[in-house]
Amino acid sequence: MSQLWDFSGGIHPAEHKQISTGRPIQASGIPRQLMLPLQQHIGEPAEPIVKVGDRVLKGQKIADISHGMGVPVHAPTSGIIEGIGDYPVPHPSGMTDACIVLTPDGQDEWCKLYPISDYRKLDRNQVLEIIQSGGISGMGGAGFPTNIKLKPPRDRKIDTLILNGAECEPYITADDMTMRERADDVVAGLKVMAWVLRPERCVIGIEDNKPEAATALLEACQGTNIEITVIPTKYPSGGEKQLIEILTGKEVPSGGIPADIGVMCQNIGTAIAVGQVVFQGTPLISRTVTVTGDAVQNPGNFDVLLGTPVDYLLEQAGVQPDQINRLVLGGPMMGYTLTTTAVPVIKTSNCIIAATADELPEPPPEQACIRCGQCAEVCPMELLPQQLFWHAKATEFEKAEHLNLFDCIECGACSYVCPSSIPLVQYYRYAKGEIRVQRAEQLKADRARERFEARQERLDREQQEKDLRRKERANAAAQAQAKKKAEAQSASANGEAMNERAARSALVEQALARKKASTEAAKAQSGALAETAQEKPDIGTLEKQLAQTQAKLESMQTMLEEAKAQQADNVEKLERAVSKNYDRVKRAESALADARKTLATAPQSTE
């Protein structure tokens, strides 16, 4: 027999398990309508992939996960999608949530299934994808997606895989009856999970008040290395951290997870679901639910389609409405009271208690704490419930958190023993909820601040880039202006040289003019010419005019370039002026060329 350890605290409440173990698991049948919440687990809600009026087949995916952590939802039977909207869901708040409403057609027609004959031939990631696609999440607690849980971080090697068959809470017998009647299926699912994780040890922990279940599993595990360990009955030995401590002697660190110490814990129902999706190809569309309490005539365990309304399930168990005092979803320790029977069964629903007034009487009014310390004695997490209560009641949430409020598993042991009838767990749940809200608001504010700071940084960077570009443009303009000024000075010097040449040309022209006059006088006297000599052009004057026009054109071009660089308003006007001066230069050049041609062809006089 394996060595066992013990955990601190714990209680021994009345079990009431014999009420629902008198007959085998029964099929609950198909109700008139199924309501399937899009979020039945921890993580992101699934998104509908069907629309109202569609006919779906049994096992068909009707909602899927597009991002984040989550698993899809499947049709529990064939039928018509009647609606998609907000409906009551099983939650302590009593609020509504998004659901798909399916009206069965009575044909119970399956979609095409893809069973795996030998999963060992597949890659482990492929097996995890099959588990995820089958919509499997934890069926014994908060409903963590199984495929994610079976893929711990690379730096956390799982040495021990534990299958939790303790089922320590009073009234609940769903896992007990499953282990008795379907032990082979439990072991088959455990083998798949062990193949994925490759642990050194596989162990199934069962409380000693379930001898039939332990015997059935011992037979199913013949020839394997799976250990069947029977542990003492004490509440809450079925708590994940408590069962790990009992079987391994290791303690999960505060704020940590079992993978931190190389351990993983799975539920009996989860093992069944994993085996079914791998070997039969059937997704998670049903589960075993205990219906018990003195207000039902036929208590027992039922195979229930997900989405089945609680009122329909109560009818199958022979409910006596006039005797119901409290309707509890879950166990009496960790469950919560239902305000309506219209809520559906979901993946984490394991028990419905229809209790009479004698069975679960109304709690007496809360009285003042007498500081007896019993709550601290029974706390399995070794917390200080009294101090946590005071801080939660005084809304001193930071102080409560410093006392490891979030290590509380909300088992209800403290409330159970409190002589002042203080609902301690309710105070802790309230404090946790407020802290989560504050964290969410702080996270939202932090993200908003980060976005603001990033925006300011971007604007500052853009402004710096603009200033740099403006500075570069100013430097370029200054350089262009200096270049143009130098060119203008050079053009001015050239103009002075041209003026000097024009002056010399004028002197030459004057001399030529005097010579011409003498020649004409001589011709007139000799009568050699019959007609008056043609007037010769003044080439010097034309050259001077051309030089002046060219200088003005260059000056105007310089002004135009400066205006363009500075993006001035008179650019267009200067362009027109440059064009006009360009035409004048061309005309002056043409006139000068004609004059020179005329001069070259004129007859020469003789003296």
Q: What is the pLDDT of residues 10-31, one digit of tens each?
A: 999 999 999 999 999 999 999 9
568 pLDDT above the threshold of 80: no
**pLDDT confidence of residue 61:** 97
pTM across the whole model: 0.75
Cα angle: 427, vertex 433, 437; to 5 degrees:
145
The dihedrals phi and psi of 227, each to the nearest 5 degrees, come to -95, 140
Q: What is the CATH number of domain 18-355?
A: 3.40.50.11540
Cβ burial, residue 487 (10 Å; 0-12/13-18/19+): middle
606 pLDDT above the threshold of 60: no
The type of residue at 419 is P
What integer best gives the mean pLDDT of the chain? Answer: 90
Alpha carbon 77 to chain centroid distance? 32
**pLDDT confidence of residue 142:** 75
505 pLDDT above the threshold of 80: no
Cis ω before 236 (30° cut-off from 0) = yes
Stretch 178-193: mean pLDDT, rounded? Answer: 97
**pLDDT confidence of residue 592:** 80
The tens digit of pLDDT for each residue in 365-400 reads 999 999 999 999 999 999 999 999 999 999 999 999
Stretch 291-304: mean pLDDT, rounded? Answer: 96
**pLDDT confidence of residue 532:** 36
**pLDDT confidence of residue 555:** 82
Residue 587's pLDDT band (boundaries 50, 70, 90)? confident
Helices (H) and strands (E) in the chain, counts: 15, 17
The tens digit of pLDDT for each residue in 266-297 reads 999 999 999 999 999 999 999 999 999 999 99
**pLDDT confidence of residue 19:** 95
**pLDDT confidence of residue 334:** 93
185 pLDDT above the threshold of 80: yes
Distance CA 173, CA 167 (A): 7
Stretch 576-588: mean pLDDT, rounded? Answer: 83
**pLDDT confidence of residue 91:** 85
3-state secondary structure of 101: strand
Residue 607's pLDDT band (boundaries 50, 70, 90)? very low
Which part of the chain is CATH 3.40.50.11540?
18-355
Q: Is 41 within 8 Å of 144 (Cβ atoms)?
A: yes
The tens digit of pLDDT for each residue in 98-151 reads 999 999 999 999 999 999 989 999 999 999 999 999 999 998 777 899 999 999
530 pLDDT above the threshold of 50: no
Complete DSSP assignment for 192-224? HHHHHH--SEEEEEEETT-HHHHHHHHHHTTTS
Distance CA 594, CA 442 (A): 92
- The two structure tokens encoding residue 156: 């956390």
3-state secondary structure of 263: strand
Residues of the chain above pLDDT 70, percent: 94
The tens digit of pLDDT for each residue in 43-78 reads 889 999 999 999 999 999 999 998 888 999 999 999
423 pLDDT above the threshold of 70: yes
**pLDDT confidence of residue 602:** 60
Stretch 328-347: mean pLDDT, rounded? Answer: 93
Distance CA 536, CA 549 (A): 23
4 pLDDT above the threshold of 70: yes
